[in-house]
Amino acid sequence: DTGVSQNPRHKITKRGQNVTFRCDPISEHNRLYWYRQTLGQGPEFLTYFQNEAQLEKSRLLSDRFSAERPKGSFSTLEIQRTEQGDSAMYLCASSLAGTVPEAFFGQGTRLTVV
């Protein structure tokens, strides 16, 4: 499978616990994006990387959220001290940098905080 892969697909956690999601982009893609999506809404931008550099982080992202892409390949998104409001689908996408960056999305990780 040469597409964008996200793990796990589903995660149920208790409020206050930490969770970590992983995204494996398409191998030659140097850009990687994280989004959060709730029911009936469009994907909400969280952050994106070019190679290992985190170029931008949404102001919506509290300090409980952190993302890394240590070697410019896979990325992790960690949420500390989860809250019920964190329940959402977390989407990852990758693309090549350039003027025509077609983005390829993974299937997402659905987080439920109980």
Partner 1 sequence: SQQGEEDPQALSIQEGENATMNCSYKTSINNLQWYRQNSGRGLVHLILIRSNEREKHSGRLRVTLDTSKKSSSLLITASRAADTASYFCLALAAQGAQKLVFGQGTRLTINP
Residues that bind partner 1 (CB under 8 A): 4, 31, 33, 35, 40-43, 45, 48, 55-56, 89, 91, 93, 95, 97, 99-108, 110
Q: Please, which residue, 86 or 90, has the CB nearer to partner 1?
A: 90
Minimum CB separation from partner 1 for residue 41, in Å?
Answer: 6
Question: Quick one: tokens of 34?
Answer: 């994280």
Minimum CB separation from partner 1 for residue 39, in Å?
Answer: 9
Q: Please, which residue, 2 or 15, has the CB nearer to partner 1?
A: 2
Question: Quick one: tokens of 49?
Answer: 């990387």
Question: Quick one: tokens of 91?
Answer: 């989407």
104/114 Cα distance (integer angstroms)? 30
Minimum CB separation from partner 1 for residue 114, in Å?
Answer: 19
54/10 Cα distance (integer angstroms)? 25
> Residue 22: which residues within 8 A CB-CB, separation 6 or more?
6, 7, 74, 75, 76
62 close to 53: Cβ distance less than 8 angstroms:
no
Q: Please, which residue, 58 or 73, has the CB nearer to partner 1?
A: 58
Minimum CB separation from partner 1 for residue 31, in Å?
Answer: 8
Q: Please, which residue, 52 or 80, has the CB nearer to partner 1?
A: 52
45/34 Cα distance (integer angstroms)? 7
